[in-house]
Structure 1
Amino acid sequence: MSTATGPGPTPTPVGRTVIVVPTYDEAANLAWIVQRLHRAHPDVDVLVVDDGSPDGTGRIADDLAAADGRVNVLHRTGKAGLGAAYLAGFRWALDRGYDVVGEMDADGSHAPEQLDRLRSALADADLVIGSRYVRGGAVHNWPLYRQALSRGGNAYVRLLLGLPVHDATAGYRLFRSSALERIDLEAVRSVGYVFQTDLAARAVRAGLRVREVPIDFVERQRGESKMNGSVATESLRMITRWGVAERRAQLRRAFGRPGTAAPAVPHDRSAVGRR
C-alpha cells in the first residue's frame, strides 16, 4: 500500500540513479551495504559522503571506488550533520546530471533489496518515502520506547505542520532531480536530523507529488546509533518553532491580511543535529 499527495499524471520513466550514503564511523558496515545494494540493483550508482570518520570509513570508501566505477566518494573535513552531508551529496549528483537521487543509511536499517518498491512508485511521483508507518511497513528490533518516540514525533509533525505524510522523519527516499531543483536546496538551513522533516515539508508545499511505500526498518546490528536524546529534543524544538510560525501566518491571513503567504519551513542555522 502507498499513500500519496499531489496530482497523479501519466507515469514517467525513472532514469539514471545515484544513492547518497552519508557516513561517520561506519567502517564495519559500508562495504557490506554497498555490496548488498549492487547485488540487488546493479544499475544504481553510490555516492559515499564521509565526514572525516576517524575509524577509516573514508579509506574503505576510496578502496570501493577504486575497484568499482559505480562507487564515488565525497570527503568532508568534519562532522557537520546528517542534513549537511545530504545537501553536499545532492549538489554533487545534480551537477553530474543524475535523474534520480536517493537517500539510504549505511548501517543496514534500510534494506537495499526493497529499493525496487521506491523505484516503482517514483514512476508517477517526484519524491518517494520508504515509510515505516503506512500499512505493510514495519520496525524491527526497536524497544517500545523508541517506537513510541518515533510514532509520536511523526504524529506531532502531521498535527503541527499539517503534512499528509505518515513518516516525515524517514531517511529512505528517492527524489527526482527536478524535485530537488524545485525545493531550492540553497535555501535549506536545517542540517541535523530535522532535515528529513524539512525536505518533506518543502516538497509538499512546492506542490510536488509525494508517495509513501511500506518498508521494513531494521535497527543496526553493528556500530553505534548516532541518534540520541539531545538530537531528538532539538528536532522537536525546531518543528515546534516552524509550526508556531505557520499558525501565526494563518491567523494573520484570517484577520485582515489575506495576501499573506504561508511561511516556508524557517531557515534556521541553529537546527544542527549530530549524526
Structure 2
Amino acid sequence: MTEHSTLAHDQPRSLGRVVMVVPTYNEADNLAWIVNRVRQAQPALDVLVVDDNSPDGTGDIADALASADEHVHVLHRAGKGGLGAAYLAGFAWALEAGYDVIGEMDADGSHQPEQLGRLLAGLVDADLVIGSRWVPGGSVVNWPWQREVLSRGGNLYVRLLLGISVRDATAGFRLFRRSTLEAIRLEEVRSTGYVFQTDLVSRTLHAGLRVREVPIEFVERVRGDSKMSGQVAIESLKRITQWGLRERWERARCRASRSQSRAMIEV
C-alpha cells in the first residue's frame, strides 16, 4: 500500500531512537556543513557517517565531528564499494546499536535536513517514508531538463515494470522503521549501486508493508562532484529491467504451477 502525504510537522512523535545514515566518498567540502544542519534541524536525531576510505580526508573530518558530538558516529569501510553496500553496512550497525528508526540521506545537501520533520511525521502510520520529488508539492532545483526527464521517465518505467505505485522509487531521502528492515531480508540484497533504492522499495511492498511518500524540494549539489551521471542512471535501469523481467518470469512460473496442480486435483 502506498500513500502520498503533505504532513509537515517539525518534531518526531514517539518514534524512539532515530539515526540518519550518511554514506560518503570524497565529501570533505560538504560533510561538516550537512551534519551540522541535521543536528540543528533535529537535535534528538543521531548521525552515522559511513565513509568508504575517502582519499580527500572525509573520514578524518567525520572522526572530528564524532569526537565533538556524542550524537555523531562514524563507520569506516576499507574502500569504495557502492552506495548500496555502504547503506547495508550502516543499517547493520544501526540495528545492532538498537535504533528504532533508520534513515538515509546524501551528504551533498541535495536532501535538506530542514525537511526531515516531514518524513518523521509521515512515519507515524507508515513502515517506510520516502522524500519524493515527483508527488504533488515535490520539486527539484538546479536540474537541467534532460536530467528531470531521465528521472521522471526512469521512475515511470519502474512503476510499469515492477507494478508498483511509488512515484519516486529511486529517491534516497527516506526513513525505515526497524521492523521494516528486519522484515525485508537485507541479507539477501545483492544490489549495491543506485538500483539499491528501488530494490528496497519493492521488498517493502512485497512484504505487505505501507510506503508513504512526502513531498520534498531536492536541491542539486553546489559543492563537490556528483556521483550520478547519465551513464550510471542508464546502467541502473538495465539492472532494474533484468531484475523485473526475472521477477515476472518467476511469477508466471508460479501461476502455471498452481494451475497445473489445480488441474491434477480436479482430474
On whether the aligned pair clears a TM of 0.5, the verdict is yes
What is aligned with 2:228? 227
Q: Which amino acid aligns with 2:192?
A: V
Unaligned runs of 5+ in 2: 5-12, 262-267
Spell out, residue by residue over 1:58-98, the C-alpha distance to the aligned partner (whole angstroms, 9 max, x if none): 00000000000000000001000000000000000000100
Q: Which amino acid aligns with 1:92?
A: W
Q: How does 1:21-36 map to 2 (within 5 A)?
A: 21-36=22-37
Greater than 6 Å deviation, 4+ residue runs: none
Q: How does 1:1-275 map to 2 (within 5 A)?
A: 3=3, 13-258=14-259
Q: Which amino acid aligns with 2:180?
A: A
CA distance in 1, matches of 2:162, 2:82: 23
Aligned-pair identity in percent equals 67
| More displaced 10-residue stretch of structure 1: 223-232 or 166-175 | 223-232
CA distance in 2, matches of 1:112, 1:255: 48
Change (3 A) 1:204 1:28: same
Q: Which amino acid aligns with 1:96?
A: A
| Alpha-carbon offset, residue 246 of structure 1 | 2.5
SS at match of 1:257: helix
Change (3 A) 1:209 1:148: same
Kept after mapping to 2: 8 A contact 1:61/1:73: yes
Change (3 A) 1:64 1:205: same
| Alpha-carbon offset, residue 225 of structure 1 | 0.3
| Alpha-carbon offset, residue 256 of structure 1 | 4.9
What is aligned with 1:269? none
Q: Which has the higher helix share?
A: 2
CA distance in 1, matches of 2:58, 2:114: 23
CA distance in 2, matches of 1:106, 1:254: 44
Spell out, residue by residue over 1:124-171, the C-alpha distance to the aligned partner (whole angstroms, 9 max, x if none): 011000000000000110000000000000000000001110000000
Spell out, residue by residue over 1:236-272, the C-alpha distance to the aligned partner (whole angstroms, 9 max, x if none): 1111112212322343344453499xxxxxxxxxxxx
**How many residue pairs end up in the alignment?**
253
Q: Quick check: which has more Rg, 1 or 2?
A: 2
Unaligned runs of 5+ in 1: 5-11, 261-275
Kept after mapping to 2: 8 A contact 1:3/1:211: yes
